[in-house]
Structure 1
Amino acid sequence: MAAPSPGPREVLACSPEVRRKAAASSSNRRGLLWRLRDKHLRLGLFEIGPGHELHGLTCMMQAGLWAATQVAMDHPPMGPPSEEDFVEVLTQVHEGFELGTLAGPAFARLRHSLGLSEEDYQAALGPGSPYLQFLSTSKSKASFFLSHDQRFFLKTQRRQEVQALLAHLPRYVQHLQRHPHSLLARLLGMHSLRVAQGKKKYFIVMHSVFYPPGRICERYDIKGCEVSRWVEPAPEGSSLVLVLKDLNFQGKTIQLGPQRNWLLRQMELDTTFLRELNILDYSLLMAFQGLHEDERGPGSSLIFRTARSVQGTPNLQEPGAQNLRLLPDIPNALHILDGPEQRYFLGLVDLTTVYGLRKRLEHLWKMLRYPGRTFSTVSPTCYAHRLCQWVEAHTE
């Protein structure tokens, strides 16, 4: 697929006055209690303030996203979706940089389908409060950021990864429409950023799987293999937020009770979809959060006000085929699943690696390098089957 070409619209946006208004709008939404809670929840993350090497980049991202979201608010997609929605490129010229919005109408429709208001999206990602840097244990050279409220996750991408996501975007949207409680990470936006006449950088915006982060005690990135799948845990008492890996999970079990059948079925549906797209090397993100006594059992907690029962596939009547999870009356409960004693945050992320020639050669090399051991670079069919097996073996 060719690199995204410039679209038909070019906008001069986000003057200093607009930036001041955006910052004021965002700041006015935050009260003292919000700031105190936020300070508590941010332990282990790093605020990107003045003097940070990424401060200039993230300020440009914030200003650009504020203006891009304003376009979606001023010109919301009308009528049924079209092929043009998935190929449109909007370039907005700012002071010192330009920001491209890829497939903007398609992502605006997707945000709307998730019940996410453009005003909330703009306030969280625009100027007002600095982004947080997350130091990932991934081997990727990507940079990882969180919005200040930790609701949205931003990740830099290579051009080839963006091309893969754009190519699969229509089928991705169809899959989410058919399976509203899919475990796939919710992509919310895709952008390019160019400073002066430099090379374009690309980044995506998605829901953070680990939201809301309060009381989360453990985080894992699971691929279902063993090579390079160990992370040295943080020292006792450290506030550093680490995402551990497969070998760190040995001896642990996910206790889901009657929810287990639904999870196994949804894993099968989602990994089959990724296999059909010839994708591998994705991860199952998991986090644990202990339930309070008043949160155990249906209807026992004040924060659980709405119970939704969503079928994973049409015409499945068995109790195990339905997701009976209770969704908290808070934003972004898509990735939350409650067991008898623990709350689990679950999501499939990193959906960009295609099994092409380079990965096939890497597979052959690793077979020679790691005989008898399991590693991540295998065929999409094997990868999907192995990850589903891991979930089945580690859930009760």
Structure 2
Amino acid sequence: MAAPSPGPREVLAPSPEAGRRVATSSSSRGGLLWRLRDKQPRLGLFEIGPGHELHRLTCMMQAGLWAATQVSIDHPLLGPPTEEDFSEVMTQVQEGFELGTLAGPAFAWLRHSLGLAEKDYQASLGPGGPYLQFLSTSKSKASFFLSHDQRFFLKTQRRKEVRALLAHLPRYMQHLRRHPHSLLARLLGVHSLRVARGKKVGEAEAKRPGRRGQLQDEILSSLTPYPCPQKYFIIMQSVFYPASRISERYDIKGCEVSRWVDPAPEGSPLILVLKDLNFQGKTIYLGPQRSWLLRQMELDTAFLRELNVLDYSLLVAFHCLHKDERGPGSSLVLRTARSVQGVQSQDEPGAQNRRLLPEVPNALHILDGPEQRYFLGLVDLATVYGLRKRLEHLWKTLRYPGRTFSTVSPARYARRLYQWVEAHTE
């Protein structure tokens, strides 16, 4: 029998004016000029202004995230997350919608461990500026957004993907504690969003399932007490940040089927994320840091293999370093303590695979070679190798004889992606 759930945690109810402020300030900028500006690409991104089909959705996301982050600001954690923290669901209702925050205290602790101030997180994701729509080359039906400062990446997720992420969350955080310089993308929050019905503005409640075994079902069912439109989305630290000097971006899976993207025309402001076949003939030159990268890929892909997941990607981007940025005497300094504050582990220090980190924002996803700076990160960690994927593997084996495709066993997937990195680095 499940343990009785404690009463609702007292939290700051979201301001009813927050959502109205976003909608009012956005609508006041309407008109022909704004709509035309919204259609112009900005480094492959589009501002989601009035008239955009996703404008109302993103305004609700901004107002909801502002209020959700305010809770963690007003009630900071006093220690590492407990089992109950991983199971908590907080629901906050504003005018016209409600936002669910899943495992909020656990994610707040992870943000703290990365040295990310909650006020900065709130300012980036709140109503301070329009979200940017990211034009993805992915075949999924997900929507992709960036915060206005491009620091955080938001992506809609299916229910089963959210289930997998929540199930893996304790082990994911343990892996980051053991390997603080991991290439895994830093997942910073998981939320639900739905049009609210039957509740008053300003209500807020927190629910904690009783047993860890009930975590996924109770968290997800608690968010759907009545039929209504609903979306799930995740927030993570953008791998491609800061993006101002990035010249090329790639999404690598280590296979060939459906792994080509037609590049943007020369001179076009549109920047696309290219794929494996576009990378042919290129090499990542790392010099002495290559051994670190290979070891970290080995550690991270072994962890993902243990989770029985596949179809994740290695994001790769690069830009040229200026002369004064090259070499250990310029921009590279030993920043281990400051960059990964709070996540160092005293266990197995030899397995942590630490490295020199550049003195830049987002240092954990940046690796400097002799002449170029590389942005690297493993993303899309929620696809489990279940019956559907096994059947897909059999079908693709018949459909693409002798060719490599993404749907293979987690062990083969991990090994193949590691081998791709080994073959494309020097």
Tell me the TM-score normalized by structure 1: 0.88
The 5 A counterparts of 1:1-20 are: 8-9=8-9, 12-16=13-17, 20=21
C-alpha contact 1:253 1:394 (8 A) present in aligned 2: yes
Q: CA deviation at 1:334?
A: 1.3
Matches within 5 A, 1:194-209: 194-197=194-197, 198-209=228-239
Question: Which amino acid is 1:155 matched to?
Answer: K
In the TM superposition, what whole-angstrom CA distance separates every residue of 1:304-356 from its partner, at most 9, and x where no partner exists?
A: 56544999994549xxx95433322x432210000001000000000000000
Paired AA for residue 170 in structure 1 = P
Q: Check if 1:290 corresponds to 2:291.
A: no
Deviation at 1:140, TM superposition (A): 0.6
Q: Distance in 2 between matches of 1:132 and 1:322?
A: 35
Distance in 2 separating the partners of 1:352 and 1:17: 32
Residue by residue over 1:24-45, the C-alpha shift from the partner in whole angstroms, topping out at 9 and shown as x without a partner, is: 9xxxxxxxxxxxxxxxx94221
Give the aligned partner of residue 384 of structure 1. 414
Q: Secondary structure at the match of 1:155?
A: strand
Cα pair 1:68 1:101 within 8 Å, conserved: yes
Query: Secondary structure in 2 aligned to 1:334?
Result: helix
Q: Deviations over 1:58-101 (max 9, x none)?
A: 00000000000000111112234210010100000000000000
1:241 positional shift: 1.6
| Aligned 8 A contact 2:12 2:70 in 1 | no
State the 1:20 CA deviation: 4.4
Residue 163 (structure 1) aligns with: 163
Structure 1 unaligned blocks of 5 or more: 25-40
Query: In structure 1, the residue corresponding to 2:166 is in which secondary structure?
Result: helix
Question: Secondary structure, in 3 states, of the residue corresponding to 1:216?
Answer: coil
Where in structure 2 are there 5+ consecutive unaligned residues? 26-40, 198-227
**In the superposition, relative to structure 1, how do residues 230 and 6 fare at CA in structure 2: closer, same or farther (>3 Å)?**
farther
In structure 2, C-alpha distance between the alignment counterparts of 1:357 and 1:384, rounded to whole Å: 19
Equivalence for 2:356? 325
Q: Residue 46 of structure 1 contacts residue 133 of structure 1 at CA under 8 Å; is this kept in 2?
A: yes
Q: State the 1:14 CA deviation.
A: 2.4
Deviations 1:123-179 (A, max 9, x none): 000002000000100001000000011000000000100000000000000000111
**Contact (CA 8 Å) 1:6, 1:89: kept in 2 or not?**
no
Match of 1:56 in 2: 56
List per-residue Cα deviations over 1:289-317 (Å, max 9, x = no partner): 1000000001224xx56544999994549
The residue aligned with 2:118 is 118
Instruction: Find out whether 1:219 has 2:281 as its counterpart.
Output: no
Within-5 A mapping of 1:145-164: 145-164=145-164
Higher normalized contact order (CA 8 Å, seq sep 6+, divided by chain length): 2
What is residue 179 of structure 1 aligned with on the other side? 179
* Secondary structure at the counterpart of residue 298 of structure 2: helix
Seen in structure 2, the aligned counterparts of structure 1 residues 229 and 18 have a Cα distance that, compared at 3 Å, is closer
Answering whether residue 74 of structure 2 is matched by residue 65 of structure 1, we say no
How far apart in 2 are the matches of 1:55 and 1:17? 15
TM (norm. structure 2) is 0.82
Q: 1:374 maps to which residue?
A: 404
Contact 1:88–1:103 under 8 Å retained in 2: yes
Q: What is the CA–CA distance in structure 2 between the aligned matches of 1:305 and 1:100, rounded to whole Å?
A: 40
RMSD value, Cα: 2.5
Q: Which moved more, 1:306-315 or 1:206-215?
A: 306-315
Letter paired with 1:387: L
CA contact (8 A) 1:85 1:105 kept: yes
C-alpha distance in structure 1 between counterparts of 2:232 and 2:82, whole Å: 24
TM-fit CA distance, 1:16: 1.4
For 1:326, give the aligned amino acid. L
Find the aligned partners of 1:17 and 1:158 in 2 and give their Cα distance: 27
Query: Are the structure 2 counterparts of residues 18 and 98 from structure 1 closer, same or farther at C-alpha, using a change threshold of 3 Å?
Result: closer
Q: Which amino acid aligns with 1:151?
A: R
Residue equivalent to 2:93: 93
